[in-house]
Structure 1
Amino acid sequence: MHSLTGRSCRLDLRRPCIMGILNVTPDSFSDGGRFLAPRAALEQARLMVAEGADVLDVGGESTRPGSQGVSEEEELARVVPVIELLARELPVPLSIDTTKSRVARAAMVAGAHFINDISGLRFDPGMARVAAETGAGLFLMHTSHRPERMQAHVDYQDLIGEILDYLRQGMEDALAAGVEVDKIAVDPGIGFGKTQEGNLEILRRLPEFLRLGRPVLLGTSRKSFLGAILDQPDPRQRLYPTLATVALGVAAGVRIFRVHDVGPAREVALTAFAVHPYDSSN
Protein backbone atom coordinates (compact mmCIF):
# COMPACT_ATOMS: atom_id res chain seq x y z
CA MET A 1 0.00 0.00 0.00
CA HIS A 2 2.96 2.32 -0.59
CA SER A 3 1.28 3.93 -3.59
CA LEU A 4 -1.97 4.28 -5.52
CA THR A 5 -1.90 4.37 -9.30
CA GLY A 6 -4.16 6.57 -11.37
CA ARG A 7 -4.35 7.30 -15.06
CA SER A 8 -0.77 8.36 -15.87
CA CYS A 9 0.09 9.19 -12.25
CA ARG A 10 0.96 7.64 -8.91
CA LEU A 11 0.21 8.86 -5.38
CA ASP A 12 2.98 8.30 -2.85
CA LEU A 13 1.32 6.76 0.22
CA ARG A 14 4.42 6.22 2.31
CA ARG A 15 3.14 9.30 4.14
CA PRO A 16 -0.41 10.67 4.59
CA CYS A 17 -1.97 11.94 1.36
CA ILE A 18 -4.34 14.93 1.34
CA MET A 19 -7.25 15.08 -1.12
CA GLY A 20 -8.69 18.57 -1.48
CA ILE A 21 -12.46 18.88 -1.98
CA LEU A 22 -13.61 21.10 -4.85
CA ASN A 23 -17.40 21.19 -5.16
CA VAL A 24 -18.69 22.91 -8.29
CA THR A 25 -22.28 22.70 -7.10
CA PRO A 26 -24.88 25.18 -5.84
CA ASP A 27 -26.02 23.00 -2.93
CA SER A 28 -23.15 21.15 -1.26
CA PHE A 29 -23.56 21.21 2.52
CA SER A 30 -20.49 23.30 3.33
CA ASP A 31 -19.41 25.32 0.29
CA GLY A 32 -22.26 25.10 -2.19
CA GLY A 33 -22.24 27.87 -4.79
CA ARG A 34 -18.78 29.24 -3.98
CA PHE A 35 -16.87 27.63 -6.85
CA LEU A 36 -19.42 27.14 -9.62
CA ALA A 37 -17.57 29.40 -12.06
CA PRO A 38 -14.45 27.75 -13.55
CA ARG A 39 -12.22 30.70 -12.60
CA ALA A 40 -13.43 30.63 -9.00
CA ALA A 41 -12.79 26.88 -8.96
CA LEU A 42 -9.28 27.43 -10.32
CA GLU A 43 -8.43 29.97 -7.64
CA GLN A 44 -9.62 27.61 -4.89
CA ALA A 45 -7.70 24.75 -6.48
CA ARG A 46 -4.54 26.87 -6.61
CA LEU A 47 -4.95 27.67 -2.91
CA MET A 48 -5.30 23.98 -2.02
CA VAL A 49 -2.25 23.04 -4.10
CA ALA A 50 -0.23 25.80 -2.41
CA GLU A 51 -1.30 24.37 0.96
CA GLY A 52 -0.04 20.91 0.00
CA ALA A 53 -2.90 19.00 -1.63
CA ASP A 54 -1.72 15.80 -3.27
CA VAL A 55 -4.89 15.31 -5.34
CA LEU A 56 -8.03 17.39 -5.99
CA ASP A 57 -11.50 15.84 -6.01
CA VAL A 58 -13.95 17.67 -8.29
CA GLY A 59 -17.68 17.07 -7.77
CA GLY A 60 -20.62 18.39 -9.77
CA GLU A 61 -23.48 16.78 -7.84
CA SER A 62 -24.14 17.16 -4.12
CA THR A 63 -24.35 13.84 -2.28
CA ARG A 64 -25.16 15.22 1.18
CA PRO A 65 -27.97 13.33 2.95
CA GLY A 66 -31.33 14.24 1.44
CA SER A 67 -29.92 15.84 -1.69
CA GLN A 68 -31.58 15.30 -5.07
CA GLY A 69 -29.53 14.15 -8.04
CA VAL A 70 -28.93 16.13 -11.21
CA SER A 71 -28.98 15.00 -14.84
CA GLU A 72 -25.89 13.76 -16.63
CA GLU A 73 -26.00 16.84 -18.85
CA GLU A 74 -26.01 19.22 -15.89
CA GLU A 75 -23.22 17.37 -14.13
CA LEU A 76 -21.12 17.29 -17.30
CA ALA A 77 -21.64 21.01 -17.84
CA ARG A 78 -20.41 21.71 -14.31
CA VAL A 79 -17.33 19.49 -14.13
CA VAL A 80 -15.83 19.14 -17.61
CA PRO A 81 -14.82 22.82 -18.09
CA VAL A 82 -13.34 22.90 -14.60
CA ILE A 83 -11.34 19.71 -15.04
CA GLU A 84 -10.03 20.88 -18.43
CA LEU A 85 -8.90 24.14 -16.84
CA LEU A 86 -7.31 22.52 -13.79
CA ALA A 87 -5.54 19.92 -15.92
CA ARG A 88 -3.94 22.71 -17.97
CA GLU A 89 -3.01 24.94 -15.05
CA LEU A 90 -2.08 22.71 -12.11
CA PRO A 91 0.52 20.00 -11.47
CA VAL A 92 -1.49 17.67 -9.21
CA PRO A 93 -3.69 14.70 -10.16
CA LEU A 94 -7.44 15.21 -10.39
CA SER A 95 -10.31 12.99 -9.25
CA ILE A 96 -13.91 13.11 -10.44
CA ASP A 97 -16.48 12.58 -7.70
CA THR A 98 -19.37 10.94 -9.56
CA THR A 99 -21.57 7.87 -9.70
CA LYS A 100 -22.26 8.20 -13.44
CA SER A 101 -20.07 6.31 -15.90
CA ARG A 102 -20.64 8.81 -18.71
CA VAL A 103 -19.49 11.67 -16.48
CA ALA A 104 -16.48 9.64 -15.35
CA ARG A 105 -15.43 8.90 -18.93
CA ALA A 106 -15.79 12.55 -19.97
CA ALA A 107 -13.74 13.59 -16.93
CA MET A 108 -10.94 11.24 -17.94
CA VAL A 109 -10.91 12.72 -21.44
CA ALA A 110 -10.81 16.20 -19.88
CA GLY A 111 -7.74 15.31 -17.82
CA ALA A 112 -8.79 13.54 -14.61
CA HIS A 113 -6.84 10.63 -13.17
CA PHE A 114 -9.13 9.02 -10.57
CA ILE A 115 -12.81 8.17 -10.17
CA ASN A 116 -14.33 8.63 -6.71
CA ASP A 117 -17.57 6.61 -6.69
CA ILE A 118 -19.61 7.00 -3.49
CA SER A 119 -21.70 3.98 -4.49
CA GLY A 120 -18.79 1.56 -4.71
CA LEU A 121 -19.88 0.69 -8.31
CA ARG A 122 -23.50 0.00 -7.28
CA PHE A 123 -25.39 2.86 -8.95
CA ASP A 124 -24.09 2.54 -12.52
CA PRO A 125 -23.12 -0.90 -13.89
CA GLY A 126 -20.90 0.72 -16.50
CA MET A 127 -18.57 2.43 -14.03
CA ALA A 128 -16.13 -0.45 -13.57
CA ARG A 129 -15.75 -0.80 -17.34
CA VAL A 130 -15.01 2.91 -17.71
CA ALA A 131 -12.37 2.72 -14.99
CA ALA A 132 -10.74 -0.27 -16.68
CA GLU A 133 -10.86 1.18 -20.19
CA THR A 134 -9.50 4.59 -19.22
CA GLY A 135 -6.89 3.35 -16.73
CA ALA A 136 -8.38 5.47 -13.96
CA GLY A 137 -7.63 4.95 -10.31
CA LEU A 138 -10.75 4.07 -8.36
CA PHE A 139 -11.99 5.09 -4.91
CA LEU A 140 -14.77 2.75 -3.76
CA MET A 141 -17.04 3.97 -0.97
CA HIS A 142 -19.80 2.33 1.03
CA THR A 143 -23.28 3.81 1.19
CA SER A 144 -26.59 2.32 2.21
CA HIS A 145 -28.65 3.94 -0.55
CA ARG A 146 -28.86 6.97 -2.85
CA PRO A 147 -28.43 10.31 -1.05
CA GLU A 148 -32.12 11.22 -0.98
CA ARG A 149 -32.92 8.00 0.93
CA MET A 150 -29.73 6.85 2.62
CA GLN A 151 -30.56 8.19 6.10
CA ALA A 152 -33.72 6.07 6.03
CA HIS A 153 -31.49 3.01 5.71
CA VAL A 154 -29.23 3.03 8.76
CA ASP A 155 -30.02 -0.31 10.41
CA TYR A 156 -27.32 -2.98 10.30
CA GLN A 157 -26.92 -6.34 11.97
CA ASP A 158 -23.14 -5.97 11.81
CA LEU A 159 -22.13 -2.50 10.66
CA ILE A 160 -18.41 -3.06 10.11
CA GLY A 161 -18.87 -6.54 8.69
CA GLU A 162 -21.48 -5.35 6.22
CA ILE A 163 -19.34 -2.40 5.11
CA LEU A 164 -16.37 -4.73 4.62
CA ASP A 165 -18.49 -7.14 2.55
CA TYR A 166 -19.81 -4.26 0.43
CA LEU A 167 -16.33 -2.90 -0.27
CA ARG A 168 -14.97 -6.38 -0.94
CA GLN A 169 -17.70 -6.94 -3.53
CA GLY A 170 -16.89 -3.61 -5.15
CA MET A 171 -13.24 -4.61 -5.38
CA GLU A 172 -14.19 -7.94 -6.94
CA ASP A 173 -16.41 -6.21 -9.49
CA ALA A 174 -13.63 -3.79 -10.38
CA LEU A 175 -11.07 -6.55 -10.79
CA ALA A 176 -13.46 -8.62 -12.89
CA ALA A 177 -13.89 -5.64 -15.23
CA GLY A 178 -10.13 -5.35 -15.66
CA VAL A 179 -9.19 -2.67 -13.13
CA GLU A 180 -5.70 -3.36 -11.77
CA VAL A 181 -5.54 -3.92 -8.04
CA ASP A 182 -2.94 -1.20 -7.48
CA LYS A 183 -5.49 1.35 -8.74
CA ILE A 184 -8.10 0.63 -6.02
CA ALA A 185 -8.64 2.36 -2.67
CA VAL A 186 -11.58 1.99 -0.27
CA ASP A 187 -13.65 4.36 1.88
CA PRO A 188 -16.00 3.22 4.70
CA GLY A 189 -18.38 6.08 3.91
CA ILE A 190 -18.72 8.01 7.14
CA GLY A 191 -21.98 9.98 7.07
CA PHE A 192 -23.51 7.98 4.23
CA GLY A 193 -26.36 5.92 5.63
CA LYS A 194 -25.00 5.71 9.17
CA THR A 195 -26.23 6.83 12.57
CA GLN A 196 -24.21 9.05 14.87
CA GLU A 197 -23.05 6.00 16.82
CA GLY A 198 -22.31 4.17 13.58
CA ASN A 199 -19.97 6.92 12.42
CA LEU A 200 -18.14 6.82 15.74
CA GLU A 201 -17.89 3.04 15.58
CA ILE A 202 -16.24 3.28 12.17
CA LEU A 203 -13.68 5.69 13.59
CA ARG A 204 -12.99 3.38 16.53
CA ARG A 205 -12.54 0.39 14.23
CA LEU A 206 -10.66 1.92 11.30
CA PRO A 207 -7.79 -0.62 11.49
CA GLU A 208 -10.24 -3.36 10.49
CA PHE A 209 -10.57 -1.83 7.03
CA LEU A 210 -6.87 -2.49 6.42
CA ARG A 211 -7.88 -6.16 6.10
CA LEU A 212 -9.01 -5.42 2.57
CA GLY A 213 -5.38 -4.96 1.59
CA ARG A 214 -5.94 -1.62 -0.12
CA PRO A 215 -5.32 1.99 0.96
CA VAL A 216 -8.12 3.50 3.03
CA LEU A 217 -9.57 6.96 2.34
CA LEU A 218 -11.28 8.78 5.20
CA GLY A 219 -13.82 11.54 4.55
CA THR A 220 -14.99 13.25 7.74
CA SER A 221 -14.45 16.88 6.81
CA ARG A 222 -17.00 19.26 8.41
CA LYS A 223 -19.64 16.52 8.55
CA SER A 224 -22.80 16.70 10.66
CA PHE A 225 -21.79 13.95 13.10
CA LEU A 226 -18.97 16.26 14.23
CA GLY A 227 -21.46 19.07 14.62
CA ALA A 228 -23.62 16.83 16.77
CA ILE A 229 -20.72 16.11 19.12
CA LEU A 230 -20.06 19.81 19.73
CA ASP A 231 -23.53 21.23 19.10
CA GLN A 232 -22.11 23.17 16.16
CA PRO A 233 -24.62 23.65 13.34
CA ASP A 234 -22.28 25.62 11.04
CA PRO A 235 -20.16 23.23 8.93
CA ARG A 236 -17.49 25.92 8.48
CA GLN A 237 -16.92 25.91 12.26
CA ARG A 238 -16.03 22.19 12.39
CA LEU A 239 -12.34 22.42 11.56
CA TYR A 240 -10.98 21.29 14.92
CA PRO A 241 -13.10 18.14 15.22
CA THR A 242 -12.22 17.33 11.61
CA LEU A 243 -8.54 17.57 12.47
CA ALA A 244 -9.03 15.28 15.46
CA THR A 245 -10.37 12.59 13.12
CA VAL A 246 -7.42 13.10 10.77
CA ALA A 247 -5.00 12.42 13.63
CA LEU A 248 -7.00 9.36 14.69
CA GLY A 249 -7.00 8.16 11.11
CA VAL A 250 -3.23 8.40 10.73
CA ALA A 251 -2.75 6.43 13.94
CA ALA A 252 -5.13 3.77 12.57
CA GLY A 253 -3.24 3.43 9.28
CA VAL A 254 -5.46 5.52 6.98
CA ARG A 255 -3.42 6.78 4.02
CA ILE A 256 -5.70 9.35 2.29
CA PHE A 257 -7.77 12.16 3.83
CA ARG A 258 -10.49 13.99 1.88
CA VAL A 259 -10.81 17.49 3.35
CA HIS A 260 -11.95 21.05 2.73
CA ASP A 261 -9.13 22.63 4.79
CA VAL A 262 -5.98 21.31 3.17
CA GLY A 263 -3.26 23.20 5.03
CA PRO A 264 -4.38 22.42 8.59
CA ALA A 265 -5.18 18.81 7.71
CA ARG A 266 -1.76 18.31 6.16
CA GLU A 267 0.03 19.70 9.20
CA VAL A 268 -1.98 17.57 11.62
CA ALA A 269 -1.53 14.46 9.46
CA LEU A 270 2.23 14.87 9.21
CA THR A 271 2.52 15.51 12.95
CA ALA A 272 0.47 12.41 13.77
CA PHE A 273 2.54 10.46 11.23
CA ALA A 274 5.76 11.43 13.04
CA VAL A 275 4.32 9.75 16.14
CA HIS A 276 2.60 6.86 14.35
CA PRO A 277 4.49 6.05 11.13
CA TYR A 278 2.90 3.51 8.83
CA ASP A 279 3.89 -0.13 8.99
CA SER A 280 6.59 -0.41 6.31
CA SER A 281 5.60 -4.01 5.58
CA ASN A 282 2.21 -2.91 4.17
Structure 2
Amino acid sequence: MVWRGNDFEIVFDKAAGALSRWISQGRARLVRGPCFNFWRAPTSNDGKGIGGHVQAAWRRHGLHQFMPRLGATRWEQGAGGLRELVVPVRLGGPVVACGIEAEYRYAVDAGGRLVLTIAGAPTGEWSVAWPRLGVQVRLPRQVDRARWYGLGPGESYADTCSGVRIGEWRAGVDDLETPYVVPQENGNRSGTRWVEATDRAGAGLRIGAETPFNFSLHRYDTLDLEQAMHPHELQERPFMTLNLDVAQNGIGSNSCGPEVLPQHRLMPGPFRFAWRFDPVTEG
Protein backbone atom coordinates (compact mmCIF):
# COMPACT_ATOMS: atom_id res chain seq x y z
CA MET A 1 0.00 0.00 0.00
CA VAL A 2 1.51 3.34 -1.06
CA TRP A 3 0.48 6.98 -0.68
CA ARG A 4 2.27 9.39 -3.04
CA GLY A 5 2.02 13.12 -3.49
CA ASN A 6 4.12 16.15 -4.23
CA ASP A 7 7.45 15.42 -2.57
CA PHE A 8 6.32 12.56 -0.31
CA GLU A 9 5.88 8.78 -0.33
CA ILE A 10 4.44 6.67 2.51
CA VAL A 11 4.50 2.85 2.33
CA PHE A 12 2.37 0.51 4.45
CA ASP A 13 3.76 -3.03 4.83
CA LYS A 14 0.80 -5.45 4.97
CA ALA A 15 2.98 -8.25 6.34
CA ALA A 16 4.33 -6.16 9.24
CA GLY A 17 1.14 -4.21 9.84
CA ALA A 18 2.98 -0.88 9.99
CA LEU A 19 4.55 1.81 7.85
CA SER A 20 7.91 0.72 6.48
CA ARG A 21 8.86 3.90 4.59
CA TRP A 22 8.06 7.59 4.83
CA ILE A 23 10.03 9.95 2.63
CA SER A 24 9.16 13.64 2.69
CA GLN A 25 11.16 16.40 1.00
CA GLY A 26 13.92 13.88 0.35
CA ARG A 27 14.29 12.86 4.01
CA ALA A 28 13.37 9.61 5.74
CA ARG A 29 10.84 10.43 8.47
CA LEU A 30 10.64 7.00 10.09
CA VAL A 31 12.15 3.52 9.97
CA ARG A 32 9.07 1.58 11.10
CA GLY A 33 5.78 2.11 12.86
CA PRO A 34 3.66 3.31 14.48
CA CYS A 35 3.16 -0.08 16.16
CA PHE A 36 0.63 -0.78 18.92
CA ASN A 37 2.42 -0.89 22.28
CA PHE A 38 1.23 -2.23 25.66
CA TRP A 39 4.56 -3.26 27.20
CA ARG A 40 7.17 -1.32 29.11
CA ALA A 41 10.54 -2.39 30.44
CA PRO A 42 9.68 -3.25 34.07
CA THR A 43 10.85 -0.76 36.66
CA SER A 44 12.35 -1.70 40.00
CA ASN A 45 8.93 -0.92 41.49
CA ASP A 46 7.35 -3.29 38.96
CA GLY A 47 9.70 -5.94 40.31
CA LYS A 48 12.70 -5.95 37.97
CA GLY A 49 15.56 -7.81 39.61
CA ILE A 50 13.62 -8.59 42.79
CA GLY A 51 10.97 -11.02 41.53
CA GLY A 52 8.11 -8.59 42.11
CA HIS A 53 4.56 -9.73 41.57
CA VAL A 54 3.53 -6.83 39.28
CA GLN A 55 5.75 -7.83 36.36
CA ALA A 56 5.04 -11.49 37.15
CA ALA A 57 1.32 -10.84 36.66
CA TRP A 58 2.02 -9.01 33.41
CA ARG A 59 3.99 -11.98 32.16
CA ARG A 60 1.26 -14.45 33.16
CA HIS A 61 -1.07 -12.46 30.92
CA GLY A 62 1.51 -12.64 28.12
CA LEU A 63 1.88 -8.87 27.79
CA HIS A 64 5.62 -9.16 27.16
CA GLN A 65 4.91 -11.42 24.17
CA PHE A 66 1.91 -9.69 22.61
CA MET A 67 2.06 -10.03 18.84
CA PRO A 68 -0.32 -8.65 16.20
CA ARG A 69 -2.37 -10.83 13.88
CA LEU A 70 -3.76 -8.80 11.01
CA GLY A 71 -7.14 -9.22 9.37
CA ALA A 72 -8.07 -8.26 5.81
CA THR A 73 -7.26 -4.62 5.05
CA ARG A 74 -9.79 -2.46 3.25
CA TRP A 75 -10.36 1.11 2.09
CA GLU A 76 -13.21 3.25 3.42
CA GLN A 77 -14.32 6.83 2.97
CA GLY A 78 -13.49 8.72 6.15
CA ALA A 79 -15.59 11.35 7.87
CA GLY A 80 -13.12 14.05 6.88
CA GLY A 81 -13.41 13.24 3.17
CA LEU A 82 -10.13 11.32 2.97
CA ARG A 83 -9.92 7.66 2.07
CA GLU A 84 -8.83 5.61 5.08
CA LEU A 85 -6.85 2.38 5.10
CA VAL A 86 -8.58 0.18 7.69
CA VAL A 87 -6.50 -2.57 9.32
CA PRO A 88 -8.20 -4.98 11.77
CA VAL A 89 -5.77 -6.51 14.26
CA ARG A 90 -5.82 -8.87 17.20
CA LEU A 91 -3.03 -8.75 19.76
CA GLY A 92 -2.30 -11.55 22.17
CA GLY A 93 0.33 -13.78 23.70
CA PRO A 94 1.06 -17.34 22.59
CA VAL A 95 -0.66 -19.31 25.36
CA VAL A 96 -3.16 -17.03 27.15
CA ALA A 97 -6.82 -16.46 26.41
CA CYS A 98 -6.89 -12.69 26.94
CA GLY A 99 -6.04 -10.26 24.18
CA ILE A 100 -6.95 -7.03 22.39
CA GLU A 101 -9.23 -6.60 19.37
CA ALA A 102 -8.49 -3.33 17.59
CA GLU A 103 -8.72 -1.47 14.32
CA TYR A 104 -6.20 0.94 12.80
CA ARG A 105 -7.34 3.72 10.46
CA TYR A 106 -4.68 5.50 8.40
CA ALA A 107 -5.54 8.73 6.57
CA VAL A 108 -3.03 10.78 4.56
CA ASP A 109 -3.90 14.21 3.17
CA ALA A 110 -2.58 15.91 0.04
CA GLY A 111 0.19 17.59 2.01
CA GLY A 112 1.59 14.28 3.26
CA ARG A 113 0.28 14.56 6.81
CA LEU A 114 -0.79 11.34 8.51
CA VAL A 115 -3.58 10.74 11.02
CA LEU A 116 -3.64 7.33 12.70
CA THR A 117 -6.75 6.42 14.70
CA ILE A 118 -6.81 3.26 16.81
CA ALA A 119 -9.90 1.91 18.55
CA GLY A 120 -10.30 -1.37 20.38
CA ALA A 121 -11.23 -3.29 23.49
CA PRO A 122 -9.83 -6.11 25.65
CA THR A 123 -11.08 -9.66 25.17
CA GLY A 124 -11.00 -12.57 27.61
CA GLU A 125 -10.42 -12.24 31.34
CA TRP A 126 -8.04 -9.62 32.69
CA SER A 127 -7.00 -9.27 36.32
CA VAL A 128 -4.05 -6.89 35.96
CA ALA A 129 -3.44 -3.28 34.97
CA TRP A 130 -1.83 -2.61 31.60
CA PRO A 131 1.76 -1.29 31.62
CA ARG A 132 0.99 1.30 28.93
CA LEU A 133 -1.38 2.11 26.07
CA GLY A 134 0.01 3.70 22.93
CA VAL A 135 2.27 3.23 19.92
CA GLN A 136 5.98 2.92 19.27
CA VAL A 137 7.83 4.41 16.30
CA ARG A 138 11.37 3.76 15.10
CA LEU A 139 12.98 6.95 13.82
CA PRO A 140 16.20 7.54 11.88
CA ARG A 141 19.24 7.57 14.14
CA GLN A 142 20.01 11.22 13.43
CA VAL A 143 16.67 12.23 14.99
CA ASP A 144 18.26 12.76 18.38
CA ARG A 145 16.43 15.63 20.07
CA ALA A 146 12.95 16.78 21.06
CA ARG A 147 11.04 20.00 21.53
CA TRP A 148 7.71 19.74 23.29
CA TYR A 149 4.96 21.64 25.06
CA GLY A 150 3.88 19.88 28.21
CA LEU A 151 5.26 18.88 31.58
CA GLY A 152 9.02 19.23 31.97
CA PRO A 153 11.88 19.55 32.03
CA GLY A 154 12.42 16.21 33.84
CA GLU A 155 10.64 12.89 33.57
CA SER A 156 7.11 12.48 34.92
CA TYR A 157 4.46 9.80 35.20
CA ALA A 158 0.85 9.84 36.39
CA ASP A 159 1.93 9.65 40.03
CA THR A 160 5.35 11.36 39.85
CA CYS A 161 4.68 14.82 38.43
CA SER A 162 4.85 17.17 41.43
CA GLY A 163 8.36 18.35 40.48
CA VAL A 164 7.61 19.41 36.89
CA ARG A 165 5.69 22.26 35.30
CA ILE A 166 3.94 23.14 32.05
CA GLY A 167 6.08 24.87 29.45
CA GLU A 168 7.91 24.56 26.14
CA TRP A 169 11.07 22.50 26.50
CA ARG A 170 14.00 21.24 24.45
CA ALA A 171 16.38 18.37 25.18
CA GLY A 172 18.73 15.98 23.43
CA VAL A 173 18.08 12.27 23.62
CA ASP A 174 20.75 11.73 26.27
CA ASP A 175 19.21 14.43 28.47
CA LEU A 176 15.78 12.84 28.01
CA GLU A 177 17.07 9.64 29.62
CA THR A 178 17.03 9.11 33.39
CA PRO A 179 20.12 6.96 34.10
CA TYR A 180 18.91 4.59 36.80
CA VAL A 181 21.50 2.21 38.25
CA VAL A 182 19.44 -0.69 36.87
CA PRO A 183 18.21 0.05 33.30
CA GLN A 184 14.41 0.16 33.13
CA GLU A 185 11.49 2.21 31.84
CA ASN A 186 12.52 5.86 32.13
CA GLY A 187 12.39 9.32 30.61
CA ASN A 188 8.63 9.66 30.17
CA ARG A 189 7.23 13.17 29.70
CA SER A 190 3.54 13.40 30.57
CA GLY A 191 0.94 16.08 29.89
CA THR A 192 2.39 16.64 26.40
CA ARG A 193 0.32 18.73 23.97
CA TRP A 194 2.73 18.30 21.05
CA VAL A 195 6.26 17.07 20.48
CA GLU A 196 8.76 17.52 17.65
CA ALA A 197 11.40 14.81 17.24
CA THR A 198 14.06 16.18 14.91
CA ASP A 199 17.65 16.01 13.76
CA ARG A 200 20.28 18.71 14.31
CA ALA A 201 18.93 20.73 11.38
CA GLY A 202 15.37 20.68 12.73
CA ALA A 203 13.93 18.13 10.28
CA GLY A 204 11.72 15.34 11.59
CA LEU A 205 8.15 14.81 12.75
CA ARG A 206 5.73 16.84 14.83
CA ILE A 207 3.18 14.73 16.71
CA GLY A 208 -0.06 15.82 18.32
CA ALA A 209 -3.12 14.11 19.74
CA GLU A 210 -6.70 14.86 20.77
CA THR A 211 -5.77 14.96 24.47
CA PRO A 212 -2.50 15.42 26.43
CA PHE A 213 -0.23 12.39 26.04
CA ASN A 214 3.12 10.89 27.09
CA PHE A 215 6.30 10.53 25.08
CA SER A 216 9.84 9.22 25.52
CA LEU A 217 12.79 9.02 23.11
CA HIS A 218 15.60 6.47 23.48
CA ARG A 219 18.73 5.17 21.75
CA TYR A 220 17.61 1.67 22.80
CA ASP A 221 14.50 -0.41 22.29
CA THR A 222 12.26 -1.72 25.04
CA LEU A 223 13.86 -5.18 25.06
CA ASP A 224 17.30 -3.65 25.65
CA LEU A 225 16.06 -1.78 28.73
CA GLU A 226 14.22 -4.88 29.91
CA GLN A 227 17.14 -7.31 29.66
CA ALA A 228 20.08 -5.16 30.79
CA MET A 229 20.97 -5.22 34.49
CA HIS A 230 23.82 -2.68 34.20
CA PRO A 231 24.13 0.49 32.07
CA HIS A 232 27.23 -0.75 30.23
CA GLU A 233 25.17 -3.64 28.81
CA LEU A 234 23.03 -1.23 26.78
CA GLN A 235 24.07 -1.07 23.13
CA GLU A 236 22.85 1.77 20.93
CA ARG A 237 20.54 0.73 18.11
CA PRO A 238 20.82 2.01 14.53
CA PHE A 239 17.50 3.82 15.09
CA MET A 240 15.78 5.90 17.77
CA THR A 241 12.77 4.57 19.67
CA LEU A 242 9.89 7.01 20.17
CA ASN A 243 7.12 5.93 22.54
CA LEU A 244 3.79 7.76 22.33
CA ASP A 245 1.31 6.80 25.04
CA VAL A 246 -2.25 7.82 25.78
CA ALA A 247 -1.59 6.57 29.31
CA GLN A 248 0.89 4.61 31.39
CA ASN A 249 0.44 2.69 34.59
CA GLY A 250 1.76 4.62 37.56
CA ILE A 251 5.18 4.05 39.07
CA GLY A 252 4.30 3.55 42.73
CA SER A 253 7.00 2.64 45.26
CA ASN A 254 6.56 -1.11 45.53
CA SER A 255 10.28 -1.94 45.65
CA CYS A 256 10.16 -0.69 49.25
CA GLY A 257 6.63 0.59 49.83
CA PRO A 258 3.04 0.73 48.52
CA GLU A 259 1.86 -0.42 45.11
CA VAL A 260 0.52 2.00 42.52
CA LEU A 261 -2.54 3.74 43.96
CA PRO A 262 -5.87 2.74 42.36
CA GLN A 263 -6.39 6.14 40.69
CA HIS A 264 -3.08 5.77 38.85
CA ARG A 265 -3.58 2.22 37.58
CA LEU A 266 -4.21 1.72 33.87
CA MET A 267 -7.06 -0.77 34.02
CA PRO A 268 -8.18 -2.64 30.88
CA GLY A 269 -11.14 -1.20 29.00
CA PRO A 270 -12.33 0.03 25.60
CA PHE A 271 -10.19 2.76 24.06
CA ARG A 272 -9.95 5.13 21.12
CA PHE A 273 -7.13 7.54 20.34
CA ALA A 274 -5.71 9.38 17.35
CA TRP A 275 -2.24 10.70 16.50
CA ARG A 276 -1.40 13.34 13.92
CA PHE A 277 2.06 13.18 12.33
CA ASP A 278 3.32 16.23 10.42
CA PRO A 279 6.72 16.43 8.71
CA VAL A 280 8.74 19.44 9.85
CA THR A 281 11.62 20.99 7.96
CA GLU A 282 14.86 22.65 8.93
CA GLY A 283 14.67 25.58 11.30
TM-score, normalised relative to structure 1: 0.27
TM-score, normalised relative to structure 2: 0.27
Relative to its length, the structure with more strand (as a share) is 2
The structure whose Rg is larger is 2
